Chains A and B, each alone.
Chain A
Amino acid sequence: MSEAPPLPSLARNSHIKHCKLCLSGLPSSQVEMDSSRAAVGFYCLGALDLLGAKITDADRAAWRNWLWAQQTRGKYGTGFKPSTYMTPGNDSDYSEYDTPHLIMTYTAMLSLAVLRDDFARLDRPGILHLIRACQREDGSFSALPVGGEADLRTVYCAFVISSLLDDWSGMDVDSAIAYVRRCESHEGGYGQTPFGEALGGTTYCAVACLELAPSTAASPRETRMSPSHRERTIRWLLHNQTASGGFCGRTNKAADACYCFWCGAALSILGAADQVDSAALARFLADCQFKFGGIAKAPSERSDPYHTYLSLAALAIYPPPAADETWKLPSLNVLWNATTETARWARKHIPASN
């Protein structure tokens, strides 16, 4: 608690530059992003949104077009694919190996909201069909209608998509909620799948899901987490803030910038945001800034769009006290993970009822 050195500035311009550079192209070393490019785009656009960066009309139009080109229709319904990495031509229907992907559908929809698209082209019934095709017997959702990973991340995406559409008819809410609850571990956090070790990212997904889904007869929203479970989850999350000021994702691991968001956002949903040491959090993230732009997972590591976006999102929830102007960020819709303004736009333009 002794005198802390003053907080350095948030290098906003460098971070904007980093994200714009990634949007314009990635080096061949990033080839592993080939099957998740829509998500990379979301992190870049989300960061630009938080930083209030100017986007030219030409870029806006081009990026919207690209995102809409990823919306694909077929026998399992409609959604967004990660990129054209498996697309042979301008065919009408997708193959079994080029289907839409739940995580990409979530990130593409939010990206289009960041770009203030009017969503006239959104195939709402088709997306509900896709969600239905992805739900499995145990209540979880697979990333693809033909399989792939099924865990709390994909469950979270199905929940946010339903919430964005304001239409939950694409899923069996009760069995999905039951799946979420089965992922809770003895520590109070939630694992990626049932039996898994408590993990910051999937704990965020779980508490957001429990909050997002409307009440059902079997599961009224306010009874989904008992007070003692809630307290246990809050306790575990708060204990993840390490002496460095940053959060770790699992007990006894080192802090990582992304968990400042996952744990911090979960705490905010649980109504415990005022218990986080936001000054220490900002000091850690300030140290994670990469000198050539962007934010890294830990001090002296290389930056990337994922950690850049999540760090900024964490700071939007936890503005450091008595910091200079550079740290001022717009407020965040913590459940959807977008700025309040973008969420407002999405709410106005995405649901079919509008």
Chain B
Amino acid sequence: MDELPLYSERPEWVDVVPIPQYQDVDALAPINYSEEYQDATDYFRGIVKTEEMSPRVLQLTEHIIRLNPAHYSAWQYRYRTLIALESSLEDELRLMDAFAIEFLKTYQVWHHRRLLLTALRSVDAAAAELAFIARALEADTKNYHTWSYRQWLLAHFNDEDLLWSGERAWTENLLERDVRNNSAWHHRFFFVWGSGVRKGDEDREEILRRELTFTKEKIALAPNNPSAWNYLRGVLGHTGTPYASLSPFVKPYTATSVEKIDVVDLDNPVPSEGAELPCVMALEFLADTFEQEGGSQIPKAVETWKLLANEFDTMRKKYWEYRIKEALQASEP
């Protein structure tokens, strides 16, 4: 595309009257446009003025988007032109595959896909999108737009067999590669707890057990991983499960070193060799457990918060001191 002459030099564009940008006052933060961009947008304003919707408009908007993927008006006009021309939206998606990777961080790229999928109304197309998103995430495993788009697709098309059914295995694979990928943890919460009940997941007691086992294993692997601890807290909060039920699991993570254990308890995996202990998030969890239990347990909560404030998490010293003050006030008769 770069080698093409300016639109003002192309005979096939001679019928379009280019319209320069209107600027009559000293501008704030004006941009020193390249000649190529200036020329293309002059012709774009000309096209918009005459409301032309034709194949060459698709070329022109593609060109502008390549120069400035945040040009939301070009995206808007392109979408309306595609619909007006009854162009193949599948072809558009294939073009967008390359765009998405190149302009991964641009909101418009993902918004455009959303419009296309909404117009296509096809669960099969949505299923193909899931595969595309998986590839896009290879380039940036935590890209916010990409993840949002996946969550939107799943909720919008809401098909158990073609869409939801593969999510757990796929997310587990991502977490196997990076157990600290918070986007993957969040996604797991979304499809297990936040968006209805998946087919086969009807026995919620069983699902709770499954999720606790999964999370405990991941914590054992990397104890100082806030994503896993936040997931654990989220699950307990969502299901109304008391923190104390996790105490046998949490205790070894609050010790100063990995304890030798004779009997292996499969339900409660211990910290992996070489884990950095005590684990701050385990101490926090333990203190919250004591606070939940209340009464005579409050002094133990206070002791644990003091450890955090003075030794293991001094950046949040004032927070832990605040927690102590609040708990003591609440427990006063």
Spell out A's residues near B (CB within 8 Å): 1, 22-28, 30-38, 40-41, 44, 62-63, 65-67, 69, 83-90, 95-98, 144, 146-149, 185-187, 191-193, 195-199, 232, 236, 238-239, 241, 243, 245, 250-253, 272, 274-277, 280
- Chain A residues within an 8 Å CB radius of B234: 186-187
- CB closest residue in chain B, given A63: B28
Q: Are A251 and B230 in contact (CB under 8 A)?
A: yes
Candidates A193, A196, A252, A275; contact of B319 at CB < 8 Å: A275
Q: How far is the CA of A195 from the CA of B156 in the complex (A)?
A: 12
Q: Are B70 and A35 in contact (CB under 8 A)?
A: yes
Binding site secondary structure of chain B: helix
- Chain B residues within an 8 Å CB radius of A85: 21, 41, 71, 73
- CB closest residue in chain B, given A108: B28
Q: Is B125 among interface residues, defined by CB-CB distance under 8 A?
A: no
Candidates B181, B187, B314; contact of A252 at CB < 8 Å: B181
Q: Taking the nearest CB of chain A, how far is it from the CB of B320, in angstroms?
A: 9
| Interface hit among B88-96, B145-153, B166-174, B247-255 | B145-153
- Chain A residues within an 8 Å CB radius of B194: 186, 195
Q: How far is the CA of A241 from the CA of B225 in the complex (A)?
A: 15
Other than the given A31-B31, A62-B26, A251-B230, 13 more pairs (CB < 8 A) read A23-B28, A25-B31, A26-B29, A31-B37, A36-B70, A37-B28, A40-B29, A95-B49, A185-B189, A186-B186, A197-B186, A198-B186, A277-B315
Q: Are B111 and A66 in contact (CB under 8 A)?
A: no
Q: Taking the nearest CB of chain B, how far is it from the CB of A289, in angstroms?
A: 21
Candidates A22, A67, A86; contact of B48 at CB < 8 Å: A86
- Chain B residues within an 8 Å CB radius of A275: 316, 318-319, 322
Q: How far is the CA of A88 from the CA of B67 in the complex (A)?
A: 20
Q: Are A252 and B180 in contact (CB under 8 A)?
A: yes
Give 26 CB contacts A-B under 8 Å: A26-B31, A33-B29, A37-B28, A41-B28, A62-B25, A66-B27, A83-B27, A84-B23, A88-B19, A89-B19, A89-B22, A97-B77, A185-B186, A193-B152, A196-B147, A197-B182, A197-B187, A238-B316, A239-B316, A250-B142, A251-B185, A252-B181, A253-B142, A274-B318, A276-B318, A280-B315
Q: How far is the CA of A340 from the CA of B174 in the complex (A)?
A: 46
Q: Are A26 and B70 in contact (CB under 8 A)?
A: no
**Which are the 3 A-B pairs with shortest beta-carbon distances?**
A186-B234, A62-B26, A197-B186
Q: How far is the CA of A8 from the CA of B269 in the complex (A)?
A: 47
Q: How far is the CA of A252 from the CA of B27 in the complex (A)?
A: 41
- Chain A residues within an 8 Å CB radius of B151: 195-196
Candidates A24, A87, A146, A252; contact of B227 at CB < 8 Å: A252
Q: Is B34 among interface residues, defined by CB-CB distance under 8 A?
A: yes
Q: Is B13 among interface residues, defined by CB-CB distance under 8 A?
A: no
Q: Are B142 and A22 in contact (CB under 8 A)?
A: no
Q: How far is the CA of A250 from the CA of B181 in the complex (A)?
A: 10
Q: Are A187 and B315 in contact (CB under 8 A)?
A: no
Q: How far is the CA of A238 from the CA of B21 in the complex (A)?
A: 46
* Interface band, chain B: 35 or more
Q: Taking the nearest CB of chain B, how far is it from the CB of A198, in angstroms?
A: 7
Within 8 A of A (CB), among B131-153: 142, 144, 147-148, 151-152
Within 8 A of A (CB), among B299-316: 314-316
Q: How far is the CA of A35 from the CA of B76 in the complex (A)?
A: 13
- CB closest residue in chain B, given A67: B28
Q: Are A195 and B111 in contact (CB under 8 A)?
A: no
- Chain B residues within an 8 Å CB radius of A65: 25-26
Q: How far is the CA of A306 from the CA of B183 in the complex (A)?
A: 25
Q: Contacts A31-B68, A41-B29 hold; do A243 and B73 have CB atoms under 8 A apart?
A: no
- Chain A residues within an 8 Å CB radius of B19: 88-89
Candidates A95, A192, A243; contact of B148 at CB < 8 Å: A192
Q: How far is the CA of A129 from the CA of B1 in the complex (A)?
A: 42
Q: How far is the CA of A198 from the CA of B77 in the complex (A)?
A: 32
Q: Taking the nearest CB of chain B, how far is it from the CB of A71, in angstroms?
A: 13
- CB closest residue in chain A, given B42: A88
Q: Are A147 and B76 in contact (CB under 8 A)?
A: yes
Q: Are A148 and B32 in contact (CB under 8 A)?
A: no
Q: Contacts A28-B31, A241-B315 hold; do A195 and B226 have CB atoms under 8 A apart?
A: no
Q: Are A238 and B319 in contact (CB under 8 A)?
A: yes
Candidates B22, B106, B193; contact of A84 at CB < 8 Å: B22
Q: How far is the CA of A243 from the CA of B280 in the complex (A)?
A: 13
Q: Taking the nearest CB of chain B, how far is it from the CB of A188, in angstroms?
A: 8
Q: How far is the CA of A197 from the CA of B145 in the complex (A)?
A: 10
Q: Contacts A31-B68, A65-B26, A197-B183 hold; do A186 and B152 have CB atoms under 8 A apart?
A: no
Q: Taking the nearest CB of chain B, how far is it from the CB of A142, in angstroms?
A: 10
Q: Contacts A85-B41, A197-B186, A253-B182 hold; do A277 and B316 have CB atoms under 8 A apart?
A: yes
- Chain B residues within an 8 Å CB radius of A245: 315
Q: Which of A23, A41, A86: most chain B CB closer than 10 A?
A: A86
Q: Are B182 and A32 in contact (CB under 8 A)?
A: no
Q: Are A1 and B314 in contact (CB under 8 A)?
A: yes
Q: Are B45 and A86 in contact (CB under 8 A)?
A: yes
